[in-house]
Amino acid sequence: MTVHIVEDDDGVRDALSELCKSVGRKVRLYPDGEAFGAGTDVSPTDVVLVDLGLPGEHGTEVIRRINALPIPPRVIVISGLPLADIHFAMRDFANVAVMRKPLTSELLSLLM
């Protein structure tokens, strides 16, 4: 299983990477949705952490692309947006876990 981290904030992306590696996960990093989409090989057993507030392609568009796969991997949304904005952005998506920033290792371990 690989954890794909789609996050534009360098610090958050690095911290998530180190956290995932510390629990034995293989990690691939992407600074935006376009980088994630460019030839990314995603397995149904993988996990994709997607920030909603990405530059360029919004996080919800990344999720739509993932959900269009024949057997999509698990998606976990990460966001520092206000809760009302998160609920509005996620209104078309069922069964997607949401983690609010700041993230904790305990929360992340529960979701993976």
Residues 38-91: pLDDT tens digits? 878 999 999 999 999 999 999 999 999 999 999 999 999 999 999 999 999 999
Preceding amide of 102 cis, omega within 30: yes
Q: How far apart are CA 74 and CA 45, in angstroms?
A: 7
| Percent of the chain scoring above 70 in pLDDT | 93
Q: How far apart are CA 12 and CA 59, in angstroms?
A: 15
Question: Over 80: is that where the pLDDT of 107 sits?
Answer: no
pLDDT category, 112, cuts 50, 70, 90?
A: low
Angle subtended at Cα 34 by Cα 31 and Cα 35, rounded to the nearest 5 degrees: 50
Q: How far apart are CA 41 and CA 79, in angstroms?
A: 24
Is residue 60 within 8 A of residue 33, CB to CB? The reply is no
Q: Does domain 2-111 have CATH number 1.10.260.40?
A: no
Closest CA to 53 of 100, 15, 14: 100
Distance of CA 72 to the CA centre of its chain: 13
Specify the pLDDT at position 84: 94
Specify the pLDDT at position 108: 65
Q: How far apart are CA 58 and CA 32, in angstroms?
A: 9
Q: How far apart are CA 48 and CA 108, in angstroms?
A: 12
